[in-house]
Amino acid sequence: MTKTKMDSWTSRIHLLNSLILSIVTNYIAIWGLRYADILERVQLTFLKRILLVPINTPDFAVRLETSTAKFSLVIFKHMLNWLIKLYEMEENLLPKMCLLRQLEITRIENKYNWASQVKNLLEFANCQRSWRDINVAFLKANKNDLIDTFKQKGFRPERSTTTVSSYSNASTIHQNNSTT
């Protein structure tokens, strides 16, 4: 990074998005649901190297400093877009037929069933509808709300970690200020 003489933070994040994320997000809506934790490591390792902080720096500190969303949010957005496309497809197309078959077998919890993984993510985003009631109109109308809820719920554990962490004095100062 120092050889490139990039001074601005936005150009570094743009580099992350163009080099790494553009390659990784290819069909991520399909394969990435189970691998979100591994992809988080790629993103965080990149950010830690840019910031020149030790690799053992807590992830929440890096996210807080960089205001970077978790990679699972990127996966969730792609998944919603793909789900909308699937619901808009004609019934005789293979992707739509696969989705309908997977929806039939979601009663049995299976970590390899894409529809089960989507169902779990939608439940995490407080989707109040069952699989039977989800359709294109619902997804399009509630897409932004689902994304916002997913983003807020994804940051909650990190916010609580920040206040109880012994990693830096900033968390101690925050605790002292909140008690007075």
Per the domain annotation, does 130 fall within a domain? Answer: yes
Per the domain annotation, does 111 fall within a domain? Answer: yes
Please, what is the Cα angle at 45 between 42 and 49, to 5 degrees?
Answer: 140
Per the domain annotation, does 1 fall within a domain? Answer: no
Per the domain annotation, does 67 fall within a domain? Answer: yes
Per the domain annotation, does 178 fall within a domain? Answer: no
Give the model's pLDDT for residue 158: 54
Q: Which two tokens stand for residue 163?
A: 């206040």
Give the model's pLDDT for residue 50: 84
Q: What range defines the domain where residue 58 resides?
A: 9-168
Per the domain annotation, does 15 fall within a domain? Answer: yes
Q: Which residues of 25-53 are buried (b: 16+ CB within 10 A; e: fewer)?
A: beebbeebbeebeebbeebbebbbebbee
**Span 92-107, average pLDDT:** 89
User: Domain total for the chain?
Assistant: 1
Q: For residues 89 and 95, is the Cβ–Cβ distance under 8 A?
A: yes
CA distance 179 to 157: 20
Q: Which two tokens stand for residue 141?
A: 């109308």
Each residue of 37-88: pLDDT tens digit? 888 888 899 889 888 899 999 998 998 888 888 888 988 999 999 999 999 9
Each residue of 109-166: pLDDT tens digit? 777 888 888 888 898 888 877 777 788 999 999 999 999 999 988 765 555 555 555 5
Give the model's pLDDT for residue 3: 61
Give the model's pLDDT for residue 160: 53
Per the domain annotation, does 3 fall within a domain? Answer: no
Q: How many CB atoms lie within 10 A of CB 79?
A: 21
State the residue for tokens 């553009």.
22
Per the domain annotation, does 162 fall within a domain? Answer: yes
